[in-house]
C-alpha cells in the first residue's frame, strides 16, 4: 500500500470533528474524518497523519510541539503523496480573529492590550506575512529534498470570511478586511512556494468562496462556543473536510506535483 503523509495545522487536523483519530495526541485535536483520512480511504493509501492543531512552519521543520517530533521527521523518502496545510499560525490568521472576538474588553489595558493590538495591527501582520513566504518555501524545499519522488500538494485554507462589503458579524468591517488581507497574502505565498519547489497547489480557498461560514451551505464554522463534538470557530466543518478531500483527490489523480 502506497504511503501518504499529511503535514499541517488545525486546518488539516480538523479539531472538533468527531471521532478523534485513534491513538493521536489529544492536544493535536486530530479528527478521523479530516481530509487526510478521507483522501487515504478514497485512494487506498497508507496514511501517516501528523497534522497538529496550533502547528507553525517551525513545527513542520525543526521544533517539537508538546513533546511531538517535528512533522517532517514522519517522511522516510518512500512517500507517494504528501499534503501540507500550514502557515496560518505563523501569521496569526485564526488566532488573530480569536483575539478580535474574545478580548475586546481588555484591548486597551496596559499589558494584554499591547499584545492584542499587535495581533490586530496590519503592519505587524504584513511583517509576519513577509516572513512566512520564505518559511513556506523552506518547507517546500525541505519536503522535496527528503522525499524527492513524492507528489507534494500544498492545500490552501478554506475561505473563512464573506466577500468584502458583506457583514462578517461579530467581526467589525475593519477587522474582517484585515483578515481577508491576511488570507489573500497567505494564499499567494503558499501558491508561490509550491510553484517554486515544483509542488502542486490545491485551491480550496477559491473553491469555497461561496461556502464561507455565513453562506447558505458553509464549509467552515463562524463564531461559536468551543463545545465538545463541535468544530472550532473559523475551522472546517465535516462538509468542508469532505470537499477539501474531493479537491485533493482530484489533484492527486490528475498528477499535480
Question: Beta strands of 138-181 (E only): which ranges?
Answer: 151-155
Mapping DSSP to helix (H, G, I), strand (E, B) and coil, where does residue 28 land?
helix
pLDDT value at residue 256: 66
- What is the spatial distance between Cα 245 and Cα 195, in angstroms, rounded to a whole number? 21
- Residue 38 and residue 242 in contact, taking contact as beta carbons nearer than 8 Å: yes
Neighbouring C-beta atoms of residue 105, cutoff 10 Å: 7
- Residue 181 and residue 125 in contact, taking contact as beta carbons nearer than 8 Å: yes
Q: What angle do CA 133, 86, 74 make, to 5 degrees?
A: 115
CA 87 to chain centre: 7
- What is the spatial distance between Cα 37 and Cα 224, in angstroms, rounded to a whole number? 25
HSE toward the beta carbon, residue 84, CA cutoff 13 A: 36
Which residue in 247, 203, 219 sits closest to 162, CA to CA? Answer: 219
- What is the spatial distance between Cα 185 and Cα 181, in angstroms, rounded to a whole number? 6
Instruction: List beta partners, residue 47.
Output: 4
- CATH fold, domain 3-254, is Rossmann fold (3.40.50)
- What is the spatial distance between Cα 173 and Cα 115, in angstroms, rounded to a whole number? 21
User: What are the helix (H) ranges across 32-162?
Assistant: 35-43, 57-61, 93-102, 112-119, 122-146
| Pairing status of strand 46-49 against strand 151-155 | unpaired
pLDDT value at residue 224: 76
**Residue ranges of the domains in the chain?**
3-254
- Output the DSSP codes for 226-245: --TTSPPTTSB-HHHHHHHH
| Pairing status of strand 3-8 against strand 46-49 | parallel
**CA quadruple 52, 54, 56, 59: dihedral positive or negative?**
negative
**Averaged in consecutive runs of 10 residues, what is the pLDDT profile of the chain (257 residues)?**
97 96 96 98 98 98 98 98 98 92 60 60 91 98 97 98 93 94 98 97 98 96 74 95 98 81
Q: What is the pTM of this model?
A: 0.93
- What is the spatial distance between Cα 81 and Cα 182, in angstroms, rounded to a whole number? 28
Amino acid at each position: 500500500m502506497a504511503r501518504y503523509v499529511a503535514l499541517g495545522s488545525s486546518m488539516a487536523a480538523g479539531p472538533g470533528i468527531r471521532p478523534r483519530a485513534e491513538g493521536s495526541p489529544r492536544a493535536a485535536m486530530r479528527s478521523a474524518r479530516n481530509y487526510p483520512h478521507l483522501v487515504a480511504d478514497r485512494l487506498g493509501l497508507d496514511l501517516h497523519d501528523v497534522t497538529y492543531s496550533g502547528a507553525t512552519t517551525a513545527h513542520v521543520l525543526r521544533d517539537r510541539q508538546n513533546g511531538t517530533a517535528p512533522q517532517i521527521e514522519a517522511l522516510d523518502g518512500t512517500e507517494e503523496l504528501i499534503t501540507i496545510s500550514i502557515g496560518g499560525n505563523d501569521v496569526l490568521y485564526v488566532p488573530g480573529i480569536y483575539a478580535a472576538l474574545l478580548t475586546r474588553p481588555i484591548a486597551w489595558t496596559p499589558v494584554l492590550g499591547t499584545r492584542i493590538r499587535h495581533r490586530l495591527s496590519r503592519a505587524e501582520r504584513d511583517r509576519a506575512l513577509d516572513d512566512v513566504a520564505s518559511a513556506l518555501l523552506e518547507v517546500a524545499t525541505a519536503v522535496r529534498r527528503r522525499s524527492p519522488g513524492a507528489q507534494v500538494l500544498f492545500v490552501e485554507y478554506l475561505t473563512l470570511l464573506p466577500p468584502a462589503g458583506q457583514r462578517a458579524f461579530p467581526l467589525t468591517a475593519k477587522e474582517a478586511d484585515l483578515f481577508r488581507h491576511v488570507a489573500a497574502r497567505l494564499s499567494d505565498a503558499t501558491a508561490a512556494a509550491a510553484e517554486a519547489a515544483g509542488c502542486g497547489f490545491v485551491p480550496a480557498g477559491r473553491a469555497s468562496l461561496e461556502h464561507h461560514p455565513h453562506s447558505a451551505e458553509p464549509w467552515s464554522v463562524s463564531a461559536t462556543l468551543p463545545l465538545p463534538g463541535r468544530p472550532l470557530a473559523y475551522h472546517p466543518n465535516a462538509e468542508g473536510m469532505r470537499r477539501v478531500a474531493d479537491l485533493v483527490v482530484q489533484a492527486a489523480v490528475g498528477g499535480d506535483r
